[in-house]
A and B are shown apart, each in its own frame.
Chain A
Amino acid sequence: MGLSILFAEQKGERFTMAEGAEKTKSSKRKKIALDPKLAEYRGIWVFIEQEEGIAHPVSWELLGRARYLATTLEVEVAAVVFGESQEKVEKITAEALSYGADKVYQVVDPALCDYRSDPYTDCLVNLVRKYKPEILLLGATALSRDLASSVATLLETGLTADCTELSIDVESRSLEATRPTFGGSLLCTILTLNYRPQMATARPGVLPIPTAEPGRKGIVIREQMQIDEEKILTKVLSFIPEPYKTAEKLSTAEVVVGGGRGLKQPGHFALLRELADLLGGEVGGTRPVVQAGWLEAERQIGQTGKTIRPKIYIAVGISGAIQHRVGIEKAGMIVAINSDPNAPIFDYADIGIVGDFLEIIPALIRVLKKRQSTKTELHAKDKPFEIELK
């Protein structure tokens, strides 16, 4: 990052640049004495997001992180589970306990069947007012981001959305919520020094899911809430499942195979498709191939196309111009296949293969197919990855 430190204060909240913050933390940070009324707030809460009795995995990621934060703060981890029937809530409660919650707050009411801002916000706000947690964490999903913002406004506290890192500043016991800003070009660590609870939503998929310990026990607290269905303005009429959108899948795919002008003919995309299917991924491409009509416009990756964050991006016949690079930089690993050893893509690829894709891709496909057929006999990871070029 290498950028200078930026301080800005707003209602006792402190914004620092992630890097360099370490050094200046104690020296430059203004001491803010926490309002004694707020000092009694204790414990870390995780709101467990569920739809139709199935919890969103980000909830478990957060429980794992909360466990770690709780050790530093020497407090308990609690999960909050809402639902329309005791049965569904119990199932999720058991899961939450197995993933590390010490306590589970349950609210069961028919009005909590489908997510709606009003009843969910009211229930969560009431729970927080009653039990006073120090930290409240939610997933940065469409549902929880909606909930978090309305809860934070009612509680008049600070909320940091879409965090990628959560830690504790030991000195002030405050939550350091780090999130990318300006399209990911800056990392910003935000603290809520004088308001409680400290709220944050965390981006799904960045924190590891802890190993579950089935049968782990904890305290379960059942809360009754007065929910007046008449007063809830939102009514859920029906659910329309989103139609199959392939472009949508490109943004969330774990593996993306991208093709560029180096493919020479549209027909060669079939090879990429085959590779992508074997890896359970999607196909994308550069501006020139979209312009040439070899690929649908929704599959363009880059500055004017999509920004993707797959675990693996395989760039085939792509020079790696900056306008393409900005769309793939967030990939966990970039594999480049290009016949030109001087192609800019090799400057930032994690694995670079210099060669003709017409030899390399079919060879990769052969290996993957062979592996799939022999998977039952040997563990994939025991065998080195070999590619034979004919």
Chain B
Amino acid sequence: MIQVEEKLYQNRYRVDEGRPHIKIKDREICSLCSHKICTVLCPAGCYRKGTDSAVSLITDGCLECGTCQVICLEHKNILWEYPRGGYGILYKFG
């Protein structure tokens, strides 16, 4: 199976080291959330279910589509910003 990372590698990024543009407000809420829909719907696989019931978020591969912010309707647990200017995904022939 081709992994999502393989495809993300085709993209160009300038990762803003140490300054993730998306944050989870309250990790507790994620543990209690039953469907954890972000881990399924994020096209870049930024959200992952951990071994315990936690959700981990690594924004390096984020495509800045906004899906996660919209789908977390029930809890509104996502603090969503664009990356700073010059950072994030840099689409070439996008």
Question: Which residues of A pack against B, CB within 8 Å?
Answer: 264, 287-288, 291-292, 297, 303-304, 321-323, 344
Decide if B56 touches A291 in the complex (CB within 8 Å).
yes
B3 touches A321 (CB 8 A): yes
Residues of A close to B3: CB separation below 8 A? 321, 344
Residue contact B17 to A297, C-beta cutoff 8 Å: yes
Q: Which 5 A-B pairs have the closest CB atoms?
A: A321-B5, A322-B9, A304-B15, A291-B58, A322-B6
Chain A residues whose CB sits within 8 angstroms of the CB of B64 once the complex forms: none
Cβ contacts under 8 Å, B5 to chain A = 321-323
A15 to chain B, nearest CB (A): 26
A323-B56 in contact (CB<8A): no
Is B34 in contact with chain A by the CB < 8 A criterion? Answer: no
Per-residue A-contact encoding for B8-33, CB less than 8 Å = 1, 0 else = 11000101011000000000000000
**Is B51 a contact of A304 with CB atoms below 8 Å?**
no
Shortest Cβ distance from B1 into A: residue: A342
User: Is the beta-carbon distance between B58 and A304 smaller than 8 angstroms?
Assistant: no
Q: How far is the CA of A291 from the CA of B54 in the complex (A)?
A: 15
* Residues of chain B with a CB closer than 8 A to A344's CB: 3
Interface of A (DSSP majority class):
helix
Q: Nearest-CB distance from A262 to chain B (Å)? A: 11
B contact residues, total (Cβ < 8 Å)? 13
Q: A297-B17, A297-B18, A304-B17 are in contact. Are A288 and B58 (CB under 8 A)?
A: yes
- Shortest CB-to-CB span from A356 to chain B, Å, is 14
Q: How many A-B residue pairs have CB under 8 A?
A: 26
Chain A residues within an 8 Å CB radius of B51: 264
Q: How far, in whole Å, are A286 and B27 apart by their CA atoms in the complex?
A: 22
B interface residues (Cβ-Cβ under 8 A, vs A)? 3, 5-6, 8-9, 13, 15, 17-18, 51, 56, 58, 60
Chain B residues whose C-beta falls within 8 Å of the C-beta of A264 in the assembled complex: 51
Residues in chain A near residue B9, CB distance under 8 A: 303, 322-323
A340 CB to closest chain B CB (Å) equals 12
Q: Bound state CA distance, A287 and B48, in angstroms?
A: 14
| Chain A residue contacts of B58, Cβ below 8 A | 287-288, 291
Query: Smallest CB–CB gap between B19 and chain A, Å?
Result: 12
Tell me whether A292 and B60 are in contact in the complex, defined as CB-CB below 8 angstroms, given that A264-B51, A323-B9 are known contacts: no
Once the chains are docked, how many angstroms separate the CA of A264 from the CA of B15?
A: 25
Residue ID in chain A nearest B7 by CB atoms: A322
Q: How far is the CA of A291 from the CA of B24 in the complex (A)?
A: 14
Query: A297–B58 Cα gap in the complex (Å)?
Result: 14
Subset of 9 A-B contacts with CB under 8 Å:
A264-B51, A287-B58, A288-B56, A292-B56, A304-B15, A304-B60, A322-B9, A323-B8, A344-B3
Nearest-Cβ distance from residue B52 to partner chain A, whole angstroms: 10
CA distance A322 to B8 in the complex (A): 9
Complex CA gap A264/B52 in Å reads 10
Least CB distance, B67 to chain A, in whole angstroms: 20
- If A287-B58, A321-B6 are given as contacts, then 6 extra A-B residue pairs at C-beta distance below 8 Å, sorted by A number, are A288-B56, A303-B9, A304-B13, A304-B60, A321-B5, A323-B5
CB distance from A160 to the nearest CB of B (A): 29
How close is A346's CB to chain B, nearest CB, in angstroms? 14
Which residues of A sit under 8 angstroms from B8, Cβ to Cβ? 323
- Once the chains are docked, how many angstroms separate the CA of A387 from the CA of B43? 43
Contacts of A297 in B (CB 8 A): 17-18
In angstroms, Cα B56 to Cα A346, docked, is 25
Q: Give chain A nearest CB distance to B75 CB in angstroms.
A: 22
CA distance A25 to B56 in the complex (A): 55
What A residues does B17 contact at CB under 8 A?
Answer: 297, 304
